[in-house]
Amino acid sequence: MNKSNAGCVVVTGASAGVGRATAVAFAKRGWRVGLIARGADGLEGARHDVLAAGGTPLAVEADVADHGQVEAAAERIERELGPIDVWVNNAMATIFCPVEHIAPEDFERATQVTYLGAVWGTMAALRRMKPRRHGTIIQVGSALAYRSIPLQAPYCGAKSAVRGFTDSLRSELLHDGSPIHLTMVHLSAFNTPQFDWGRTCMRKQPQPVPPIFQPEVAAEAVYWSAHHRRRELWVGFPAVKAILAQRIVPGLIDRLLARRGYSGQHTDQPLPPGRRDNLYEPVPGDHGAHGRFDARSRDSSGQLWLTTHRTTLAAFALAALVGLGVRRSITR
C-alpha cells in the first residue's frame, strides 16, 4: 500500500515488543496508528517512533482486560484518526511458574489480558467494521496456541482460547456473508521485553526458547497479513515444527518438553535484585521493541519469505516443469 492510500490501524500492546515494532511497520508505509497500552512511558516512546517513521500516531492509555476501556479507546481513535481499517490484537501477559504455584488471581489476570483482551478488541473492531463491510482483524498468536509448554500454562491456555474464539467467529462472519477478514499470525520465539517483566516464581531469568527472532520479523508478518487473505500465517520454522509435531506425535512432544521445557526457558543468570513485573501495573520506563537478546536473535526468516511468496514460487515451479516438458519433446 502506498502512503497516499494508507489507512488507520490499531495496535494493542503497542508500547513495547512485537506491538511496538508492528506500529512502526505500518508507520513506515504512512498509516495512521492508534497505539493502545497501559504504560505512559512506553506509549510516548511508541508515539515518537511512529512519527519518526512517517506515520500519524495517537497514543491511548487503556487496559485491554477492561472492555469499557477498549471500547472508549476505539471510539477516540475513530474520532481523531478516522475509520479503523485494521485492528491488531497483540497485548499479552505471561507467568513463568508451575501451575500449582500460581495464585488464582494471577492466573485470572493473565487470562483476562491475553484472552479477553483479544476478545474485547475484536468486538470493538467488529462494531465499527461490520456496518461498513470493510476491515481486517489480526490476532497475534503463537505456536503455543497449538503446542503448549510447561511453566506458561496461563499464556498457552489463553492463546489456545483465542484460536478457538477466532475459528468460531470466522464461521459466523461467513454465515453472515461479511467481508471482514479475520486472521491469526502464529509466532515462534521473539526478542521482546516480556522476558524482563513477565511474572515469575523461578530463580533464574526467563528467556525465549531458541532460536530467537527480532520483533521486526513478526511486525512484517503482521503487516503482510493485513493485505493478504490468508487464514493463518506461521512465522519462523520453529513454529512450523511445533504445530506439525503436535498433530503427528503429541505424546512424544509431551515427554520431550517434560525433559527440556524447563531449562530451555531460562538462562543461567539469577533474577536481578528488585525485578518488577507488569502483570497488574506497567513497569516504568520506555522499554522499546527489543529485549536483551539482540546478540542471539535473527533478523530474518527464510520460512516466512517462502510462505509469503508461495504463489510466485509455484508459478516458477510450473514454468520450470513446462520448460522441461518442451525441451524433452524437442529432443525426441
- The residues, any chain, with a CB within 8 Å of residue 313's CB and separated by 6 or more, are 306
Q: Which cell goes with 11? A: 495496535
69-73, 167-171, 188-192, 310-314: least confident range:
310-314
Say which of 115, 146, 155, 223 is annotated catalytic.
155
CA distance 191 to 211: 10
Partners of 270 in the β-ladder: 204
Count of positions (residues) in the chain: 332
Asked about 223 being catalytic, the answer comes back as: no
Q: Which cell goes with 149? A: 509448554
First to last CA, the chain: 49
pLDDT single digits (tens) 14-60? 999 999 999 999 999 999 999 999 999 999 999 999 999 999 999 99
CA distance 206 to 155: 14
How sure is the predictor about 313, in pLDDT bands with cuts at 50, 70 and 90? Answer: confident
More confident residue, 318 or 259: 259
Nearest to 235 by CA among 219, 257, 249: 219
Percent of the chain with pLDDT over 90: 91
Which whole number is the average pLDDT over 234-238?
97
Residue 311 is predicted with a pLDDT of 76
CA distance 185 to 230: 10
pLDDT at 332 over 70: no
Domains assigned to the chain: 3-300 (3.40.50.720)
pTM: 0.93
pLDDT single digits (tens) 196-221? 999 999 999 999 999 999 999 999 99
Residue 274 is predicted with a pLDDT of 93
Which whole number is the average pLDDT over 99-106?
98
pLDDT single digits (tens) 251-266? 999 999 999 999 999 9
pLDDT single digits (tens) 261-286? 999 999 999 999 999 999 999 999 99
